[in-house]
Amino acid sequence: MDNLGKHRKAIDAIDKKIVGLLQARAENVREIANEKNKTGKQVYDPAREAEVLKKVKTIKKGKFPPEAIGAIYNEIFSASRMLQRRLNVAYMGPEASYTHLAAIKRFGKSTDYTSVPGVKEVFLEVEKGTVDYGCVPIENSTEGAVNYTYDLFADSDLKIYSELEMEIKHCLMSKQKDMKDIKIIYSHPQSLAQCRLWLEANAPHAVLKEVSSNSKAAVLAAGDRTAGAVAGELAAELNGLNVLASSIQDVANNFTRFFILGKGESRKTGDDKTSIMVAIKDKVGALYHLLKPFEKYKVNLTNIESRPSKKKAWDYYFFVDFLGHKDEPKIKKALSEISRNCGGVKVLGSYPRF
């Protein structure tokens, strides 16, 4: 047997062991499902999944890429949840939108997904119980906060169950194999703006046409051999398009942060983040009284946003993200002081830090 055959035989034996171990893992998952059914615990446990990922990533490293470990375990988690109960997750926008991609990145392919028109509808579907969880964008590294998402938290009892970040990579796709043959390029106005310099340099002959979504752009390109679209890679896969160029955005490191919404709460992992909403009036020292307890108890803030309350002129909601879990003693003390000095504090959720 030559060396190639020897190594392939070894891989076959390893694969057999891997599948056997996955089956053994599945048996334990079913037993866990039985225990969860007795106590009414949620199928999706982001704290537990974060703990598992942390453990497997500390195992002695070899040749296998570390980032691939996370992707593989995401699908193992997805299949394990399905063994307990198949989940349904709502996302904003059409199929193959970036929010759809984010939902898949978090919940994997062994999950059902429901497309709804906007962020408000995601909240409503989760509140009504027609889906288990919802995925919504909250901020972009270049465009800033998604204010409408923040506004909806004011009147909702839903909790932030987990978070994730996803790099936004725009691709040029078409039925054509040469971009010189593309006469028109469709995309959402924001995506065209983010890729304008690249398009001017590489496809100056093409007319740029704005449409309501990148997903629609891909559908239009699929129906016209002279057309192209700027969209995410999944849109090319779903519409049978060739990806002619990847990562064509003009600004590198373009990330969007997403929240996973649910009715339950995530338990403490030791590496958590908490989001709160504080209602304060426009008066001298208001912001100081909000921020002082964080400094006093050495709580690290990661983000702060303000939004008008829309209930009374010059009243504001402040949305604050910070490191730590709401059940930690120092966090409890800080929130108690803020509540006394500023008014109502609403904890939107404590969840594993992405």
How many percent of the chain have pLDDT more than 70? 97
The pLDDT assigned to 82 comes to 93
Residues 230 and 298 in one domain: no
Question: Does residue 55 or residue 172 have the better pLDDT?
Answer: 172
Which of 17-26, 104-113, 154-163, 341-350 is the least confident region? 341-350
Spatial separation of the C-alpha atoms in residues 96 and 238, rounded to whole Å: 8
Residues 279 and 344 in one domain: yes
Spatial separation of the C-alpha atoms in residues 53 and 262, rounded to whole Å: 22
Domain assignment present for 151: no
Torsion of CA 34, 38, 40, 41, to 10 degrees: -50
Question: Does residue 281 or residue 266 have the better pLDDT?
Answer: 266
Domain assignment present for 69: yes
The pLDDT assigned to 343 comes to 72
The pLDDT assigned to 312 comes to 63
Q: Categorize the per-residue pLDDT at 314 as very low, low, confident or very high, splitting at 50, 70 and 90.
A: low
Domain assignment present for 36: yes
Does residue 22 register a pLDDT over 70? Answer: yes
The per-residue pLDDT for range 217-245, each reduced to its tens digit, is: 999 999 999 999 999 988 999 999 999 99
Residue carrying structure tokens 């008014």:
343
The pLDDT assigned to 336 comes to 92
Burial degree of 245 (CB within 10 A; 0-12, 13-18, 19+): middle
Q: Which CATH number fits the domain that encloses residue 220?
A: 3.40.190.10
Task: Tell me how crowded residue 72 is: count the other CB atoms within 10 A of its CB.
Answer: 11
Residues 330 and 293 in one domain: yes
Query: What count of Cα atoms within 13 Å lies in the side-chain half-sphere of residue 21?
Result: 7
The pLDDT assigned to 311 comes to 66
Which of 72-76, 208-212, 249-253 is the least confident region? 249-253
Domain assignment present for 131: no
Q: Give start and end residues of each alpha helix (H) in 129-206.
A: 147-153, 189-194, 196-202
Select from 187, 263, 181 the least CA-distant residue to 219: 187
The pLDDT assigned to 26 comes to 94
Q: Which CATH number fits the domain that encloses residue 69?
A: 1.20.59.10
| Final residue of a structural domain among 228, 245, 262 | 245
- The total number of structural domains that make up the chain: 3
The pLDDT assigned to 310 comes to 67
Query: What count of Cα atoms within 13 Å lies in the side-chain half-sphere of residue 201?
Result: 8
Spatial separation of the C-alpha atoms in residues 198 and 11, rounded to whole Å: 43
The pLDDT assigned to 282 comes to 66
The pLDDT assigned to 148 comes to 84
First to last CA, the chain: 47
Does residue 17 register a pLDDT over 90? Answer: yes
| Final residue of a structural domain among 84, 109, 139 | 84
Q: Please list, in sequence order, all residues whose beta carbon lies within 8 angstroms of the beta carbon of residue 63, skipping any fewer than 6 positions away.
A: none
As given in the structure block, the two tokens for residue 202 are: 């590489």
Domain assignment present for 333: yes
Spatial separation of the C-alpha atoms in residues 278 and 185, rounded to whole Å: 44
Which of 85-89, 143-147, 249-253 is the least confident region? 143-147
Task: For 140-158, give one letter per residue: b (16+ CB within 10 A) or e.
Answer: beeeebbeebbbbbeebeb
Domain assignment present for 112: no
CB 99 within 8 A of CB 135: yes
Does residue 271 register a pLDDT over 70? Answer: yes
Residues 285 and 234 in one domain: no
Residues 235 and 295 in one domain: no
Residues 280 and 241 in one domain: no
Q: Which CATH number fits the domain that encloses residue 342?
A: 3.30.70.260
The pLDDT assigned to 66 comes to 79
Residues 227 and 293 in one domain: no
Query: Which of 146-150, 278-282, 349-353 holds the top average pLDDT?
Result: 349-353
Element (H or E) spanning 45, and its range?
none
Entry field: residues in the chain: 354
CB 338 within 8 A of CB 297: no
Residues 175 and 238 in one domain: yes
The model's pTM: 0.84
Domain assignment present for 134: no
Select from 249, 251, 231 the least CA-distant residue to 241: 231
CB 76 within 8 A of CB 19: no
CB 264 within 8 A of CB 152: no
Supply the range of the domain harboring residue 285. 272-352
Element (H or E) spanning 308, and its range?
strand 301-308
Burial degree of 39 (CB within 10 A; 0-12, 13-18, 19+): exposed
Domain assignment present for 287: yes
Q: Categorize the per-residue pLDDT at 24 as very low, low, confident or very high, splitting at 50, 70 and 90.
A: very high
